[in-house]
Structure 1
Amino acid sequence: MDFLQAPPRSLVFDLGDVLFTWSANTTTSIPAQKLRDILSTPIWCSYERGEISRDVCYELSAQQFSLPASEIAEAFAQARESLQPDLAIVSFLRELKKDPSIHVYAMSNIGKEDFEEIATKTDWGIFDRVFTSATAGMRKPELRFYRHVLDHINLAGNQVVFIDDKEENVNGAQAVGIRGFVFGKLTAHMLHEMLNNPVGKGWRYLFQNAKQCDSITDGGVVFADNFARLLVADTLKDRSLVDLSWGSKKTWNFFSGKPVLIPEGIFPDDLDTTALALRVLQPSPTEVTSSILDMMAEYVREDGSFQTYFDRSKDRVDPIVSANILACFYYYNRGHELGRTLDYVRLTLLNRSYIQGTRYYSSPDCCLGFIGRLLRSSSDDHLQATLGSLLESRVRERLGLGGSALDLAMRIITCTQLGVQCERDRRALLDLQCDDGSWEGGWLYQYGRSGVKIGNRAVTTAMAIAALSS
């Protein structure tokens, strides 16, 4: 599936002709165009990199343009005096500063002495940091300057939006993967829409909360689980949302800490969580993955279903667990080894065995959603032919039936991938968004023995983002 990009985690603004307006018209004998010509010379670039002082820059420019150095100094002094902050942009940046999920930076080609003189022209507290060419020893559009900024703010290029009035500077930013836009009258409106549409608000909620995305039972017990964190990263294809790494593990446990509501206090690692971790974290070398898949294949039963746990004394099965494991095998191009499992999943669809939920997954829409995820795991012709049309007919049966935000989101995702129109459900999902940008967690899974239901707000929000972005 195609997803809209996440909104940026930081915005980087130019100063001149973006934050500030200024005039090159002065009372000196130097025409405005001549003043601009001086700004584009290698001499001025050296000044902006901090390689020469401003006085030396004026002297060298005077020689090049046959002008008095004092006249050049006066012209630029008047130009600096004309600097005026764009109050609309300043107001927009102040609003952004209220959002802890967004950081705002300035990045400017400016000499040391000039920057010191304009220090009183605006409230620099609207920026988390200002990067000047004089301090960095490099200037836009040199690619190393953009990389320098990315290194210091510790973000990837696609997590950053850069705004500049010069197209060549925007092109430089784009060359290192930054999302760049040439500044214009509609820039603030465009950024506001990017950050504050329903999808953008959902992302921003996850930026702030996904790493603490605890699950909760229908009895109010809160706990941390690996499956939810992995599912958030898998749904949005963004591992930076969660703090998980493969490490030295061979298998994974549903719980990331002490098991809750388990009378004996012992909960074995399971194939469902392990399959999801293999998909999201992709351990290396490939031999590690192959050996784990080989081990998992030993837990398939005669009818094609998989045992849920790496504990043969706990003989538990669930068709959606089997579908999730099969998705992992298909992702690693080994799905053809599990033909009986594919038939088992098909029978689940054919017989509507999911309609009251399954042992571990209580919602029929979640069940169909995970089978849809299985279809998305591979373009294998046999997989698509076996499940595609049957899944489409089953998901059509669910249209307009309402449900929780999670039910609606997973239904919409599955409908969209199969080309099924679902505008009524899409509108219903939009109506359920909370003021903080999240969606309330519906019941994603349940304890097999007790039927205690478990939800997770971050998972539901990730699913809603995916649904509304598709």
Structure 2
Amino acid sequence: MIRAIIFDCFGVLATEAWLPFKTKYFGDDPARFEQATDLGNQANRGLISYDDFLRLIGVMTNMTPDAVDSEIARNVPDEELFTYLRELKPTYKLGLLSNIARNRLEQMFADDQLALFDAITLSYKSGYIKPQPEAYSVVADQLKVSINNCMFVDDQERNVSGARTAGMQAILYRSAAQLRQELEPLLTG
């Protein structure tokens, strides 16, 4: 029985800006794309500061840190999905699990949106990034729900697979309407 629903941030709760940025600036150079990805993972794990991340990506792109931040901070909350979360909240525990660097969440979401979540698990605090199994265990523990009673929603197949490997049920997210269509039968069945 599903007791908790856990949502990814980028590409689910808010638009994704980092992947388009990497594709724009490094898409034709796999080594630099991988280097940028590694720097993002280091910031997401809290191994380097967000300011250092911006500076290093700025060096790679010949941009100022502020210009980099401006481009990758274009994350817009999905209001249709947040409306659905408000419907789910009275019955289910809600979690947020994100590979994210320090100071990013508060810039994207309003206080009332963040207040919907019973647990917010951020990689820079936990030290684990999806699809590491520990990332999923940490959020389930914070929700005080058995991992097999959790549903995870993410737009990346590797993270959905990681959740399933960790013992969660999972849905690959494409839109709020698609999520509702796939999730509702699982909640009522």
Report the TM-score range of the alignment, normalised by the length of the smaller protein: 0.7 to 0.9
The one-letter amino acid of 2:53's match is: C
TM-score, L = length of structure 1: 0.36
Q: Which residue of 1 aligns with 2:142?
A: 152
The one-letter amino acid of 2:48's match is: I
- Is 1:74 the counterpart of 2:67? The answer is yes
The one-letter amino acid of 1:59's match is: R
Distance 1:39 1:14 in 2: 23
Aligned CA-pair RMSD? 2.7
Retained in 2: the 8 A contact 1:24–1:35? no
Q: Percent identity?
A: 25
Retained in 2: the 8 A contact 1:58–1:69? no
- Is 1:12 the counterpart of 2:6? The answer is yes
- Is 1:59 the counterpart of 2:43? The answer is no
Distance 2:181 2:67 in 1: 37
Q: Which residue of 2 aligns with 1:188?
A: 180
Structure 1 residues 76 and 156: alpha-carbon distance in aligned structure 2, compared to 1, 3 A threshold? same
Equivalence map 1:125-204=2 (5 Å): 125-185=115-175, 186-196=178-188, 200=189
Equivalence map 1:253-264=2 (5 Å): none
Distance 2:68 2:54 in 1: 11
Q: SS where residue 107 of structure 1 aligns?
A: strand
Distance 2:166 2:68 in 1: 36
Ranked by relative contact order (alpha carbons within 8 Å, sequence separation 6 or more), the top structure is: 2
Greater Rg over alpha carbons, structure = 1
Structure 1 residues 134 and 149: alpha-carbon distance in aligned structure 2, compared to 1, 3 A threshold? same
The one-letter amino acid of 2:77's match is: P
Q: Which residue of 2 aligns with 1:298?
A: none
Q: CA deviation at 1:176?
A: 1.2
Q: CA deviation at 1:118?
A: 2.2
Q: SS where residue 186 of structure 2 aligns?
A: helix
Residues 95-138 of structure 1: CA deviation (Å, up to 9, x unaligned): 01122xx1111101110122232243862122112111111122
Equivalence map 1:32-431=2 (5 Å): 32-34=23-25, 37=33, 41-63=37-59, 65=60, 67-70=61-64, 72-80=65-73, 82-99=74-91, 102-120=92-110, 123-185=113-175, 186-196=178-188, 200=189
The one-letter amino acid of 1:114's match is: R
Distance 1:53 1:83 in 2: 20
Retained in 2: the 8 A contact 1:38–1:61? no
TM-score, L = length of structure 2: 0.83
The one-letter amino acid of 2:171's match is: F
Residues 291-341 of structure 1: CA deviation (Å, up to 9, x unaligned): xxxxxxxxxxxxxxxxxxxxxxxxxxxxxxxxxxxxxxxxxxxxxxxxxxx
The one-letter amino acid of 2:146's match is: A
Q: CA deviation at 1:13?
A: 0.4
Structure 1 residues without counterparts, runs of 5 or longer = 1-5, 201-470
Structure 1 residues 25 and 145: alpha-carbon distance in aligned structure 2, compared to 1, 3 A threshold? closer
Distance 2:77 2:117 in 1: 14
The one-letter amino acid of 1:79's match is: I
Retained in 2: the 8 A contact 1:89–1:188? no
Retained in 2: the 8 A contact 1:83–1:121? no
Structure 2 residues without counterparts, runs of 5 or longer = 28-32
Structure 1 residues 87 and 118: alpha-carbon distance in aligned structure 2, compared to 1, 3 A threshold? closer
Q: CA deviation at 1:75?
A: 3.2
Distance 2:52 2:162 in 1: 28
Retained in 1: the 8 A contact 2:95–2:143? no
